Amino acid sequence: MLTGKQKRYLRSLGNTLEPILLIGKEEVTENVIRQAQDALEARELIKGRVLQNCANEPQNIAQEIARRAQAELVQVIGRNFLLYRTSSDQPKIELP
């Protein structure tokens, strides 16, 4: 579980990120989860976007991806969301 201070720090890092995980009309598939897990292992902090053609709410999609990828949901703003998980090989981000 992340503290408020840690979430603020991760949100500040996430401001400059471009969404690399795009969720469309097929919503959350195994391929999306695999892609999220690979990206989290490599980067630790990723931004995703729920596209307009997705029927489900962005908050629900983000929570499901976070749960299935064993990641922390940092924030959801509009259709964008931010996920964080410490890399098991080489941690890059030091949390306050």
pLDDT in tens, 33-89: 999 999 999 999 999 999 999 999 999 999 999 999 999 999 999 999 999 999 988
Mean pLDDT of 21-25: 95
The per-residue DSSP string of 32-52 comes to: HHHHHHHHHHHHSEEEEEE-T
Residue 65 has a pLDDT of: 97
Residue 1 has a pLDDT of: 87
| CATH 3.40.50.170, domain 4-84, yes or no | no
Please tell me whether the overall predicted TM-score, pTM, comes out greater than 0.85 for this model: yes
Residue 66 has a pLDDT of: 97
Residue 90 has a pLDDT of: 87
- Tell me the CA distances in angstroms from 10 to 13, 55, 80, 81, 82, one per residue in order: 5, 28, 14, 12, 9
Q: Domain-by-domain residue ranges, the chain?
A: 4-84
Residue 58 has a pLDDT of: 96
- Helices 30-43 and 58-68 cross at an angle (nearest 10°) of 70
